[in-house]
Amino acid sequence: MNSKTFSKILIILGLSGAAFAQENRILSIRLLEKLNPTDLKIQSPAGKGVWNEIKLSRGQLWVNGKAQKTASWGSQDSNLKIHVQNLTRIYPGKIILKIKQEKEGLKLFILNRVSMENYAACALAFESDFDQTQPEYLKALGAVIGFYAVSHLHRHPDYDLCDLTHCQVYQGMPPNFDFWSKMISASRVLSSSHNFELGSFYFHRCCGGILESAEQIWGGPKSRARTGPDEWNGKPLCQDDGFYQWTSSTGVENVEETLKTMAQIPPLARLETFEIIAKTTNGRNKTLRSIFMLPNRKTREIRENVPRFISEFGKHFGWRIFPSNWFEIQKEGNLFKFSGHGLGHGVGLCQTGALKLAQMGWTWEEILNFYFPGT
């Protein structure tokens, strides 16, 4: 790599001036919201301390049998163990608990205060499926994970990020944590004062051969991510991924129920039409149209954003039906059948493509410059 190319990469990345400049930057991550626990145990420090019994009961937080408004354990240098239901995890940093009123009722609100670098190391392990075989790929992905985190601070009103795919998968400290920390440290570059729009850095599992733009998917600002064919020497980089092409099916009643909930359609209405009416420039679905026959024999047409529909459908019927928003619809009897491409939104770094480049001998800097060209 020549000096001009490397200088351009410094401008693109600016890691120490952006994502990892402030080593003491602390993130607030909400934990275990999906499990919605009403009781759990916390050991502080992990493996050595006593176990604390926590319960949500009678609208109050109880810690070891005593009612409290809030409770906390650890510091930024701590590791704490949480046991809830059938899982046990170790988290770096500090754990804070309180009771929070949400639309579904009172919930146990569990917050992890963790350093940016420890968060990124944990997320990297889970987002890469713990595969340690291609360090250059991991360094590239780790940089994007850090960029994403720092550009999405306060994505939720009361905390920075959740621990789900809505933000980035974060399940505490993985085995061989030192390895993942080294990958994050290795993806830092020389100090740079260049400023740039961090929000343009995204990643996904498999693009299906075509990269999409953030503007097309979310209507956001113009990003630096490359769009169009994700190929090298005329071959799609992710063509060997199991989600490069996919098929799925679900009952008409499942689609009908999801749409009724989203648009407040009467329970006895019947779904007559379900089709895509708008696509992105690169072929992903943007808008769907549905027509319902109402009990009074009148029809009602609704139009929905496809990513929103997929999100609502997934919450009720699982995420395997719509791996991506790039698919065609065919109705056969009481089933909707879908044939599509890719896993994820298709914006930014394609993980399968980046892994392929690393296997071909590319460095992490070259991989990042491939997916996020300089401007």
What span, in angstroms and rounded, lies between the C-alpha atoms of 245 and 352? 13
pLDDT band at 24 (very low <50, low <70, confident <90, very high): low
pLDDT band at 297 (very low <50, low <70, confident <90, very high): very high
- Domain ranges for the chain: 21-182, 188-243+345-371, 246-340
For residue 116, the tally of other CB atoms under 10 A from its CB is 21
pLDDT band at 199 (very low <50, low <70, confident <90, very high): low
* Residues with Cβ within 8 Å of residue 150, at least 6 apart in sequence: 18, 19, 25, 116, 198
pLDDT at 13 over 60: no
What span, in angstroms and rounded, lies between the C-alpha atoms of 229 and 20? 31
Q: Which DSSP string corresponds to 28-60?
A: EEE-STTT--SEEEEEESTTTSEEEEEEEETTE
pLDDT band at 10 (very low <50, low <70, confident <90, very high): very low
pLDDT tens digits along 255-276: 999 999 999 999 999 999 999 9
Burial label for 2, CB within 10 Å (0-12, 13-18, 19+), is exposed
Span of 16-30, 102-116, 186-200 with lowest mean pLDDT: 186-200
* Residues with Cβ within 8 Å of residue 358, at least 6 apart in sequence: 134, 135, 136, 137, 140, 364, 367
- Is there a contact between 96 and 71 (Cβ–Cβ < 8 Å)? yes
pLDDT at 299 over 60: yes
Looking at residue 219, its pLDDT comes to: 80
Radius of gyration of the chain (CA): 23
Span of 181-195, 253-267, 316-330 with lowest mean pLDDT: 181-195
* Residues with Cβ within 8 Å of residue 76, at least 6 apart in sequence: 24, 26, 93, 94, 113, 114, 115
pLDDT tens digits along 333-357: 999 999 999 999 999 999 999 999 9
Mean per-residue pLDDT, 68-74: 95
Q: What are the CA-CA distances from residue 337 to residues 99, 129, 159, 271, 296 (Å)?
A: 43, 29, 39, 16, 29
pLDDT at 329 over 50: yes
Contacts 24+ apart (CB under 8 A), 234-239: 236/208, 236/209, 236/353, 237/350, 237/352, 237/353, 237/356, 237/357, 238/206, 238/207, 238/208, 238/209, 238/342, 238/350, 238/352, 238/353, 238/356, 239/209
pLDDT tens digits along 206-240: 999 999 998 888 887 777 899 999 999 999 999 99
Span of 5-19, 103-117, 150-164 with lowest mean pLDDT: 5-19
Q: Which of 147, 209, 151 is nearest to 184 (CA)?
A: 147
Looking at residue 134, its pLDDT comes to: 98
What span, in angstroms and rounded, lies between the C-alpha atoms of 119 and 113? 9
Q: Is the peptide bond before 373 cis (omega within 30 degrees of 0)?
A: no
- Is there a contact between 85 and 37 (Cβ–Cβ < 8 Å)? yes
The torsion angles phi and psi of 317, rounded to 5 degrees, stand at -125, 10
Q: Which of 186, 176, 172, 123 is nearest to 150 (CA)?
A: 123
The token pair that represents 261 in the structure block: 């909930």
What span, in angstroms and rounded, lies between the C-alpha atoms of 90 and 72? 15
User: If you average pLDDT over every residue of the chain, what do you get?
Assistant: 89
The token pair that represents 319 in the structure block: 């995420």
